[in-house]
Amino acid sequence: MRAVIFDLDGVICFTDKLHYKAWKAVADELGIYFDEKINDRLRGVSRMDSLEIILENADRTFSEEEKKEIAEKKNNIYVSLLDTMSEKDLGNDVRGALDVLRQKGKLLAIGSSSKNTKKILEKIGLNGFFDAVSDGTNITRSKPDPEVFLKAAEMLEVDPSDAIVVEDAMSGIDAALAGGFKCVGIGEAATHPNVTYPLKDLSDLPKLV
Ligand code: B16
Ligand code: MG
């Protein structure tokens, strides 16, 4: 393997609780039922697709204009919550794996659905660390479409068969496989029936590549 492409939320850092807080505030205001189980379905899913999942529990329909306003409101809350993050939000297993892979000369990239990737990388002290960053700002199709990972491989100038994707979401594993990548699944993604390597955390990742 010449390259490793990391998902961000749920792999490099854990912003899912912040996404939950922000969506919950917005859903409560609209009187729409929302819980952590529904939040789990939002992993790796784009902002607008996440909103569609939340609106499944609404008792009325929303215009495109209203949906845009709701998504913007959620994002403003989420972005202010991101300000509470710091380098401390990077686990030892993550920092250790990144450093060993760097020493081994591997190309390292981000492949995230988030449009807030840049801000998150800044907050956790990884701004400028990766050789390529492919995120929600450069894609038109959300995971399980492989676009975000294919763009990352293109930026690194590597073939998908020479790169491995690390994911926490089922939709992310589907995306990696659809793009012709091998993949590592952590968390829920470790239970995906077709995941190449299921792992508990990133400690053993350097041994695989
Ligand atoms: P934003 P990932 C994903 O990031 C999150 O898992 C998902 O919950 C979120 O809706 C999506 O980013 C979009 O995020 O609203 O910041 O653009 O797991 O692909 O790194
Ligand atoms: Mg994720």
Report which protein residue has its CA nearest ligand 1's atom 3. Answer: 44
Alpha helices in the chain (DSSP H): 16-30, 36-40, 47-55, 64-82, 92-103, 117-123, 147-156, 170-178, 205-208
Give the distance from CA 158 to its chain's centroid.
21
pLDDT confidence of residue 13: 96
- Using a 10 angstrom Cβ sphere, with 0-12 exposed, 13-18 middle and 19 or more buried, the burial of residue 72 is exposed
Q: Judge if 3-13+86-208 and 16-82 fold alike in CATH terms.
A: no
For the record, the structure tokens of 118 come out as: 């840049």
The backbone torsions φ and ψ at residue 105, rounded to the nearest 5 degrees and listed phi first, read: 80, 20
CA of 103 to the centre of ligand 2 (A): 25
- CATH code of the domain made up of 16-82: 1.10.150.240
Question: Tens of pLDDT along the chain (209 residues)?
Answer: 999 999 999 999 999 999 999 999 999 999 999 999 999 999 989 999 999 999 999 999 999 999 999 999 999 999 999 999 999 999 889 999 999 999 999 999 999 999 999 999 999 999 999 999 999 999 999 999 999 999 999 999 999 999 999 999 999 999 999 999 999 999 999 999 999 999 999 999 999 99
User: For the chain, what are the domain ranges?
Assistant: 3-13+86-208, 16-82
Q: pTM of the full predicted structure? A: 0.95
pLDDT confidence of residue 91: 86
CB 6 within 8 A of CB 111: yes
CATH T-level fold of 3-13+86-208: Rossmann fold (3.40.50)
Nearest atom of ligand 1 to the alpha carbon of 75 = 15
Distance between CA atoms of residues 26 and 29, nearest Å = 5
